[in-house]
Structure 1
Amino acid sequence: MKDGIHPEYEEITVVMSDGTEFKTRSTIDTKDGVYRSEVDSKNHPFYTGNMNFQKKAGRIDRFKKRYGKQDD
């Protein structure tokens, strides 16, 4: 390997959104050696099943408004 071209590979602590922690090695440049995750499998909508369908509902409403049956 060439000297001086590779990032530092150091041990960091990963703190998940629920407060759980684990140690791993990474090339992430953290100031204090701690990476704080905002999204993980315990709070991401894909994993929790709490998907938000507002955008889809808006498209359906616009479609119905344009092409739907008109109430007179």
Structure 2
Amino acid sequence: MPKAGIHPTNNEIRVVCACGESFATRSTHKGDIHVEICSACHPFFTGKQKLVDTAGRIERFRRKYAKPETAAK
């Protein structure tokens, strides 16, 4: 039997995303929770991932940290 008076209250709240999607859940938090990204708009879940120019980043890294070439003897 759980002890009375030691557990926080469990409230029904709304989670609202910046894209406009919202859903109901339960939490000890009071009031709505606002998030910037959710499963309805995240690229992993939507399958619309943006390609990043990694080749340019790698070349820039290599140029920055390349050892200086020694002068010909």
Return the TM-score normalized by structure 1: 0.56
Task: Rate the CA distance shift 1:53–1:40 in 2: closer, same or farther, 3 A.
Answer: farther
Q: CA deviation at 1:50?
A: 1.9
Structure 2 residue aligned with 1:18: 19
| Structure 1: gaps of 5 or more residues | 68-72
Report the secondary structure of 1:63's partner residue.
helix
Identity %: 36
Structure 1 residue aligned with 2:71: none
Task: Rate the CA distance shift 1:22–1:45 in 2: closer, same or farther, 3 A.
Answer: closer
Which structure has the larger Rg? 2
Structure 2 residue aligned with 1:7: 8
The CA RMSD measured in Å over matched residues stands at 3.2
Counterparts of 1:49 and 1:17 in 2: how far apart (Å)?
A: 18
Structure 1 residue aligned with 2:38: 40
| Structure 2: gaps of 5 or more residues | 68-73
Task: Rate the CA distance shift 1:63–1:18 in 2: closer, same or farther, 3 A.
Answer: same
Return the TM-score normalized by structure 2: 0.55
